[in-house]
Structure 1
Amino acid sequence: MARDFLRNKAAIVGLGATEFSKDSGRTEIQLGVEAIMSALNDAGIDPADVDGMATYTMDNNPEIELHRLIGGRELKFFSRAHYGGGAACAPVMHAAMAVATGVADVVVVYRAMNERSGFRFGQGGLLTEDPNAFETVDFGWYFPHGLMTPASWVAMFAQRYLHETEATSEDFGRIAVGARDFASTNPAAWFYQKPLTLEEHQAAKWVAEPLRLFDCCQESDGAVAMVIVSAERAKDLQQTPVMIRGAAQGAKDQQRMMTSFYRDSLMDLPEMQCVADGLYSMSGLGPDDIQTAVLYDHFTPFVLPQLEAFGFAERGKACNFVREGHHLRGGKLPVNTHGGQIGEAYIHGLNGVAEGVRQVRGSSVNQVAGVEHVLVTAGTGVPTSGVILGTP
């Protein structure tokens, strides 16, 4: 089967977001409506024309309610992707498939959450106490050993990565420092005008060794939305379209929900390798064609194997990539130019897709020169997804 069936068939034509905060003072539904209306206004599309919606399973915003509140008339397509932040790019893929096949004409992708003032993912624990739920049973193998939070789960992989490579905690710190540098010049970022030094990173307290405080992303309130239409319809709208060159989802053998501890190796991300293979195959591109990347950074250690999975560094050698500063401002592959989830906000990765759109549009506050293609990835350690965005 041809893998290029989605290449350039759909485009992102509208982008909207609320402010990012630690206490929004609004319901998640209100945040969602604000971001969606902003995205539709950006695209120049009447809310009544929206006939598709895509989001995450971990969402308190029913599609039919948001569709009603924005003034929608007919909803022909709706989908949700599971596995937390691993869903960040999947709704974009679903939307692209819907408009490319004619199932829907205008699909809104959204994520709205009070993840700091409301339910905090970082505190760990179960999403449900139903004893029959699969995840309740699954996590029963880890909780008795103290593995109860996302930080503790990622720490297992991070420790093994340090053991098998020449990487050190300072290399994790270099990821955090780079993100905070970009955030410091981004007025939308929580850490605007607040850069971080490597010394400050190394002096920070342990959260779950080898993760220090600044290796962990923020908890944020806010919303992001975008509008996706067919490439043909995009030609007549007010914004220059951002083309979806490739989109992919991926899960691999022995996959668990952030606890894939029984694989032969814990230093790789095979699910992200699956996504990388799919993206490069669909887009016809390779690592040398990417000018900037938005790599999911809920925890800094997982940025390193992502660089390896996509061919920007050899296996186990991403530490050299960051030591040479290639991921920094002015580097050969600036990473997370919005500040990432470390520095801007944690909107479950959809704010990273938004930054990819801005880079292609040429409107990022930390614009990389000569951008033709941007790679965006979703959550790591879980079944995941990714997109490559490009110029018309």
Structure 2
Amino acid sequence: MISRTAAIAGIGATEFSKDSGRSELRLAVEAIRAALDDAGLRPADVSGLVTFTMDNNSEIAVARELGIGELTFLTRIGYGGGAACAIVQQAVLAVTAGLADVVVCYRALNERSGRRFGQAYASPDTDAGWHVPTGLATPAAQVAMVARRYLHDHGASTDDFGRVTVAARRHAATNPHAWFHGRPITLDDHRASRWIAEPLRLLDCCQESDGAVAVVVTTVDRARDLPRPPAVIAAAAQGSGPGQFVMTSYYRPTVAGLPEIAVTGRQIWAQSGYRPADVRTAMLYDHFTPYVLMQLEELGFCAPGEARHLIADDGIELDGRLPVNPHGGQLGEAYIHGMNGIAEAVRQVRGTAVNQVPGGGPVLVTAGTGVPTSALLLEATP
């Protein structure tokens, strides 16, 4: 069992912007240096590096720029944002097995000033030939198919999607590190935002951001001797559902769900011994608002079709039943492929978050949805 064998001992990030003015390699190095400083470690202490297959920075280039010596563990995880928690899981496996003493997980991207994921582009994927010619050429268009079916099946409305954005922007408004700091919105603002792909409006879609985030993983025993309170990894899971495709899994009998999230959820609860009711706050991957509702259902926080009732009356805001993304998430803080959600979870465990959620329960993090995904459950040391 990997439960509670490893911890996140350090976190670091660059500023979040729309034009970083520097290379993705420099962003990665800055974030990793900040994470190592936070952990009270040096580059020479690092023996493993893990990142996304989509990260443009080779591990050896990162190691060279930082002055890291020998590496005994290096790997990458695919499927875009679905990798966020899985790269931490890989680090846990490495330090638990004794393959590396200290592993750094990182993601750096100029997603606004460089390649913009929201724009259509030619795909080498054979499966893309079935949907790109019909106009499903961007993530928003693909998610719109799922969102429309979800509305039909459960009697929800686009206002239910809007409430997710309103909560995220309200949290971001009080977070000095968020791009939308000081800029909350109302439900009327959501209703007035332009259509991107019906039923998704502009304010249903996450930001495009430049920046980088890194986290340092080591054993719980070593983490206890470092300067910062460790965020113990009570559970780490990765999963894919039957008939999985990307964003719109149209090979399945129904598209209005995220069974891959349920796969990770079952593992999280089994590994940790916790249940949904124990969770103090959740960092849910919010690239598109409908997928936040579906995650709440797939993870067991409410029954299928009932997420709209959970989020009504501020249910996912700071004083609600389940505060979601107190940092503002990818809708409000920044889109760093979910890595900033992991950093916020660590701050919540430490008790140092700007929008600190009270209590002693665990903190949940999910990774990208609509693709093979992953999740973490973090807790403080006893």
Q: TM-score if structure 2 supplies the norm length?
A: 0.99
Any conservation in 1 of the 2:248–2:255 contact (CA below 8 Å)?
A: no
Indicate which of 40, 45, 53 corresponds to 1:49.
45
- One of 11, 20, 25 as aligned partner of 1:24: 20
What amino acid does structure 2 have at the position aligned with 1:25? G
Structure 1 moving runs of 4+ over 4 Å: none
1:235 is displaced (CA, Å) by 1.5
Partner SS for 1:113: strand
Q: Distance in 2 between matches of 1:339 and 1:264?
A: 34
1:197 aligns with 2:193: no
- Any conservation in 2 of the 1:292–1:371 contact (CA below 8 Å)? no
The superposition leaves residues 124-172 of structure 1 with CA deviations (integer Å, 9 ceiling, x where unpaired) of 3235xxxxx4x1x111110110110000000000000000002100000
- 1:267 is aligned to 2:246: no
Q: Deviations over 1:314-340 (max 9, x none)?
A: 111101011132101211210011101
Provide the rounded CA distance (Å) in 2 between the counterparts of 1:57 and 1:143.
Answer: 23
- The 3-state SS of whatever aligns with 2:232 is strand
Give CA deviations for 1:88-131 in whole Å, capped at 9, x if unaligned. 1110000011001100000000000000000111113235xxxx
- State, as a whole percentage, how many aligned pairs show the same letter: 57
Do residues 229 (structure 1) and 218 (structure 2) align?
yes
Q: Which residue of 2 aligns with 1:109?
A: 105
Distance, in Å, in 1 between the alignment partners of 2:318 and 2:226 is 32
Structure 1 segment 1-392 matched on structure 2, within 5 A: 5-126=1-122, 133=124, 135=125, 137-392=126-381
The gaps in structure 2 that reach 5 residues or longer are none
Return the offset for 1:309. Answer: 1.0
- Report the Cα distance in structure 2 between the residues aligned to 1:262 and 1:372, rounded to whole angstroms: 38
- Matched position secondary structure for 2:247: coil
Distance in structure 2 (CA, Å) of the matches to 1:252 and 1:341:
24
Alpha-carbon separation, structure 1, partners of 2:251 and 2:92: 34
Tell me the distance in 2 between the aligned counterparts of 1:14 and 1:64: 21
2:364 and 2:254 map into 1 onto residues whose CA distance is: 25
Task: State the secondary structure of the residue aligned to 1:324.
Answer: helix
| Uncovered stretches (5+) of structure 1, i.e. residues with no partner | 128-132
Separation in 2 of the partners of 1:208 and 1:103?
46
Q: Secondary structure at the match of 2:140?
A: helix
DSSP-derived class of the 2:156 partner: coil
Deviations 1:286-313, CA, capped at 9 Å, x for gaps: 0011000000000000000100111111
User: Over aligned residue pairs, what C-alpha RMSD do you find?
Assistant: 0.8
Distance (Å, rounded) in 2 between the aligned partners of 1:84 and 1:258: 11
